[in-house]
Amino acid sequence: MGESTGVGRTRLAATSLSRPSGGALRYWAWRGAQATVGRTPAAVAYWVAGGLGQAAYWLWPRGRRAMRANFARVLGTAERGAVDRVGRASLAGYFRYLVDFMRLGGRGMLPAQVVGETAFAALDRLLERGKGAVIVCMHYGNWDAGAALAAARGYPLAVVAEGLGDPRLDELVLGTRERLGMQVIRLERAGPSMVRVLRRNGLLALLIDRPVPGEGVAVRFFGERVEVPAGPARLALATGAALVPVAFRRLDRLGRSMELVGDFSILPCAEAGPRCVEALTQRVMEAHERFIRERPDQWYMFRELWAEGGR
């Protein structure tokens, strides 16, 4: 999914599911899974989800090959045992993320403990500029829970969503985000709406770990060149907004305790241009590289990032 606007193609946060084929099938599958999760004790649901993720790693050859390639770069080794351990943990973590999202949708549950007051204070100082902030995420930790927490604390937060192939599925998935206090911007009118959010000193959350060959900006990530969306940097340059790479990561398997980390030092260049877009994007990716190095198992990238294509 993507769009063409004056600020370039952007892959957007809190849109955790790509456009599916067979929307009706996915709708009923999601409803069934959410109903099951809602009736299951949290510890049991997380245990089952983790087991399913571990099994899926071995049952999904294409995804396993991609994760092996990605985590070999992240870990700096192609040793199969080490790479497979992180890959299995990553897919198990993603299944737990889905449980979290379903629980958020059914009960509006947020983590019991959050380490992040320093990060929120830094964000408040940035917003004193009056120009908003582009929150740049990756498929890491639990970005939806982080967005829900920010909305619950009163931050004006907008996310952009693509339709999921069935209006009923849109209501289940995208409607959950609206009920959690986020403004959901539909993809077809994303460009002007994104700018308006920032002009009102709001937060706009975007995902950046989606390769866009030929349409993005090339930067170095874990020592290799990769092309990622230029949209976040272009939005910052167009509006004066700060660029804030953040991660909301688990501190325990059950997601009861989480931590918000971010880099709150990235402001637009004085003069816009391709070099500035590249420099800003490079700084964003360097921040995310630090986050991933600390907890590589919490990065959910199931297509090879350094190859043509994307997650």
Is 13 among the domain residues? no
Tell me the C-alpha distance between 251 and 114, whole Å.
9
**What's CA 100's distance to the chain center, in Å?**
14
Residues 141-193: tens digit of each pLDDT: 998 889 989 998 999 999 877 777 778 888 888 888 888 889 988 776 677 89
pLDDT higher for 269 or 125?
125
Binning the chain into helix, strand and coil, the percentages to the nearest 5 are 50, 15, 35
Is 6 among the domain residues? no
In this prediction, residue 310 carries a pLDDT of 42
Is 18 among the domain residues? no
pTM: 0.88
Is 247 among the domain residues? yes
Tell me the C-alpha distance between 117 and 4, whole Å.
36
Residues 11-51: tens digit of each pLDDT: 333 333 334 345 678 888 888 988 898 888 888 999 999 99
pLDDT value at 125 more than 70: yes
Is 185 among the domain residues? yes
pLDDT value at 137 more than 70: yes
Q: Can you give 165-224 as a three-state secondary structure string?
A: CCHHHHHHHHHHHHHCCCEEEEHHHHHHHHHHHHHCCCEEEEECCCCCCCCCEEEEECCE
In this prediction, residue 105 carries a pLDDT of 67
**Residue 209 belongs to what domain range?**
23-298
Is 238 among the domain residues? yes
Is 305 among the domain residues? no
In this prediction, residue 241 carries a pLDDT of 97
Q: What is the mean pLDDT of residues 211-231?
A: 87
In this prediction, residue 17 carries a pLDDT of 31
* Of 276, 273, 268, 286, nearest in space to 226 by CA: 286
In this prediction, residue 19 carries a pLDDT of 41
pLDDT higher for 311 or 264?
264
Number of helices (H) and strands (E) in the chain: give both, helices first.
10, 9
Q: How many structural domains comprise the chain?
A: 1
Which of the listed ranges 11-15, 152-156, 284-288, 301-305 does the model predict with the highest average pLDDT? 284-288
Residues 35-93: tens digit of each pLDDT: 898 888 888 999 999 999 999 999 999 999 999 999 999 999 999 999 999 999 999 99
Q: Which residue has the tokens 């050859």?
A: 61
Is 109 among the domain residues? yes
